[in-house]
Amino acid sequence: MVAGTAAGTDWRAWQESWDRQQEWYMPDREERFRVMLDMVEALVGPAPRVLDLACGTGSITDRLLKRFPGAVSTGVDLDPALLAIAEGYFAGDERVTFVRADLKDPAWVRALPYDSYDAVLTATALHWLHEGPLATLYGEIGGLVREGGVFMNADHMKDGSTPRINAAERAHRHAGMDRARAAGALDWADWWELAAKDPVLAGPTAERFAIYGEHADGDTPSAQWHARTLREAGFAEARPVWASPSDALVLALK
């Protein structure tokens, strides 16, 4: 359980609690982040200007700055509770800026502090969007990434042509999740129940559920769909650069 401290809310504990909850769903999460940052270094160098898209608590930004201290990051999200954790966790770090904006509103681009970025990174977030709005968003991202810059999306990307493989993978993964749950792991609902009881996060959590409900009903198209749509959005090259049995990381190069 996450608790407050004498000085107030323990933002580091909330950040770590979010990471543990996400890892319950995605045991390969850290490997995804490692490959993502490997590709950032390979293509745009060790001191990038990064847009952490749908940043949540700032998990990407946290790993980015620990690996590349010379980087700067803009985190953008609409979720007031997750942004509160991010802002508390990174308080005082001048390399980080947070912007609250709705990615389905074209005005979100104008709220950013920079006109262009070396890298736009996102993970386990854009499956909240349906294919139409996601394609529109990819077009907007194409206008933000500089020439030679990159966009990467790590997310659930389903291949509908392999139903038996998909079913076996899901059954195996959920059996492991059930074992971890029995050992005390928090799931999505448990985590948000705790957030709703925190004196500081209770208000932002209530606002968050008023915006999103329990969970948005988006799409999880294949990695090939993402790569094709990114090329249509103006990227010169796009393909998966990492995959687990259930997730993929697609990289697009401007």
Q: Which residue has the tokens 């090329």?
A: 231
Helices (H), 90-187: 131-144, 163-182
Q: Environment class of residue 244 by beta-carbon count within 10 Å: exposed (0-12), middle (13-18) or buried (19+)?
A: middle
pLDDT at 217: 76
pLDDT band of 7, cuts 50, 70, 90: very low
Query: Which tens digits make up the pLDDT trace of 49-88?
Result: 999 999 999 999 999 999 999 999 999 999 999 999 999 9
Two tokens at 9?
């809310």
Per-residue pLDDT, averaged over 85-110, amounts to 97
pLDDT band of 2, cuts 50, 70, 90: very low
Q: In whole angstroms, how far apart are CA 115 and each of 23, 25, 90, 232?
A: 33, 35, 23, 21
Per-residue pLDDT, averaged over 225-246, amounts to 97
Flag whether pLDDT at 1 surpasses 50: no
State the residue range of the domain holding 211: 4-253
pLDDT at 214: 76
Q: Residues 6 or more apart from 41 whose CB is under 8 A from it?
A: 68
List the CATH number of the domain containing 71: 3.40.50.150
Number of domains in the chain: 1
pLDDT band of 215, cuts 50, 70, 90: confident
pLDDT at 213: 84
Q: In whole angstroms, how far apart are CA 228 and each of 140, 166, 181, 239?
A: 16, 22, 37, 8
Flag whether pLDDT at 177 surpasses 90: yes
